Structure 1
Amino acid sequence: MRLDSKQTAMLLVDVQERLFAHIHNHELIEKHLLVLLKGLKTLEIPILCNQQYTKGLGQTISSVHSLLGKTTIYEKCTFSCYQNSEVTEALEALHVKCVIVAGVESHVCVLQSVCDLLDAGFEVIVCADAMGSRKAYDHEMALRRMEQEGASLATTESLLFELLQSALHPQFKEVSALVKTL
């Protein structure tokens, strides 16, 4: 399976104020998330941002929120984003085959979202360096489980260059400059 920018969307899972600071390696994950999101926006890939119980966990962290602009933020109480009917409808309306997933926590909301997306027939690419859990072991186990369920694992850099497909792409220089900041 190769990524096609016209058939791809991104699901951002619960990168929220009161949780993110407790995620293992959160500074590095934030750096990768910002490059990933900037690159996807440059390539005009739709981004669906989700927040788990905002009243308790707060808003999406400010660095990410400022990049999203007027992007709709989907409020949820289910762990899986895909069990939120608004997200399900939004993904279906985009008519995409592939969903890139990143966020927190890998072993709870990300994992359950990935499993539901796979069950719904989407090809799922998990951006392993743009997601995490409070404990490194939980993150590692979640990655193994997601891969066993049928998701593909990738990194921020590999995803962005795969979406470009060629150094002749009009946004190559812009995306390449972003990746060099990692």
Structure 2
Amino acid sequence: MTNPRSLLTPADSAVLLIDHQAGLAFAVESIDRQAMLNNTIALAKTAATFGLPIIVSTSATKVYSGPLMPAIRSVIPDVPVIDRRSMNVWEDEAARSAVEATGRRRLIVSGLLTEACVSFPVLSALSDGYEVFVAADACGGLTPTSHDLALRRMESAGAQLTSWIQVLLELQRDWTRRDTYEGARSIVEAHGGGYGIGLNYAREMIKA
């Protein structure tokens, strides 16, 4: 089993994106919706850049929630989307089987809503022996309080809370890793706010 204190690597991790759909995003009050979308896109790009398996699942696409948000779909166009009825990904055979098929025991999870469709599969995966990292800034809850309580419950059960930028930096770790340098740098510049502005500035200023 992976040492829970060890850093994430591209070889041992997979990303699970759950219910990033407009119908659910309308209800999010725990974070600015555009910031949440920005962070989720950055996480999806990070997974693609480092070659992590990506599992995408949606729910109630025809009756309420709508499809995966187009801005996310555009950065992972070839990843199949698994629609389901259950709130809990772990209770949907197709979605759970897709996670199991990756062979990865470390899951990086983001989704909507934190109180249900994120926390339920996180708790279930932990119970099944997975090591789970919740990208909390790429999740959204109904209220700041309920979002925080859901995060606290997951953390108390053994989930590790993180952010998209920590995931990216943890996977990259050394800016001299040239195979992922350009991809990682472009993600930070596009989605990393002030840090991205600074990285772009440094690249323009330093012509070594």
TM-score norm. by structure 2 comes to 0.83
Equivalent of residue 112 in structure 1, options 116, 120, 136: 120
Aligned position for 2:48:
41
Q: Deviations over 1:110-135 (max 9, x none)?
A: 00010011111110000011001121
Q: Deviations over 1:92-150 (max 9, x none)?
A: 22110100000110011100010011111110000011001121111111111110010
Equivalent residue runs for 1:94-173 within 5 Å: 94-169=102-177, 170-173=179-182
Q: Deviations over 1:140-173 (max 9, x none)?
A: 1111111001000001111111112322222124
Aligned position for 2:8:
3
Aligned position for 1:174:
183
The answer to whether the 8 Å contact 2:113/2:139 transfers is yes
Secondary structure at the counterpart of residue 68 of structure 1: coil
The answer to whether the 8 Å contact 2:25/2:140 transfers is no
Shift of 1:67: 1.6
Q: In the aligned structure 2, how far is the partner of 1:68 from the partner of 1:21?
A: 22
Structure 1 spans left out of the alignment, 5+ residues: none
Q: Which has the higher strand share?
A: 1
Secondary structure at the counterpart of residue 83 of structure 2: strand
Q: In the aligned structure 1, how far is the partner of 2:130 from the partner of 2:27?
A: 30
Aligned position for 2:99:
91
Aligned position for 2:69:
61
Q: In the aligned structure 2, how far is the partner of 1:27 from the partner of 1:118?
A: 30
The answer to whether the 8 Å contact 2:132/2:160 transfers is yes
Equivalent of residue 38 in structure 2, options 6, 9, 31: 31
Q: In the aligned structure 2, how far is the partner of 1:23 from the partner of 1:159?
A: 23
The answer to whether the 8 Å contact 2:12/2:105 transfers is yes
Shift of 1:21: 2.6
* Structure with bigger gyration radius: 2
Q: Deviations over 1:58-111 (max 9, x none)?
A: 101110112221211111111111111112222222110100000110011100
**Matched residue type, 1:11:** L
Q: In the aligned structure 2, how far is the partner of 1:173 from the partner of 1:68?
A: 18
Q: In the aligned structure 2, how far is the partner of 1:177 from the partner of 1:61?
A: 22
**Matched residue type, 2:27:** H
Structure 2 spans left out of the alignment, 5+ residues: 193-208
Aligned position for 1:15:
20
Secondary structure at the counterpart of residue 5 of structure 1: coil
Between 1 and 2, higher relative CO (CA 8 Å, sep ≥ 6) is seen in: 1
Aligned position for 1:51:
58
How many residues in Structure 1 have an aligned counterpart in Structure 2? 182
The answer to whether the 8 Å contact 2:113/2:141 transfers is yes
Shift of 1:177: 3.0
Q: In the aligned structure 1, how far is the partner of 2:90 from the partner of 2:74?
A: 24
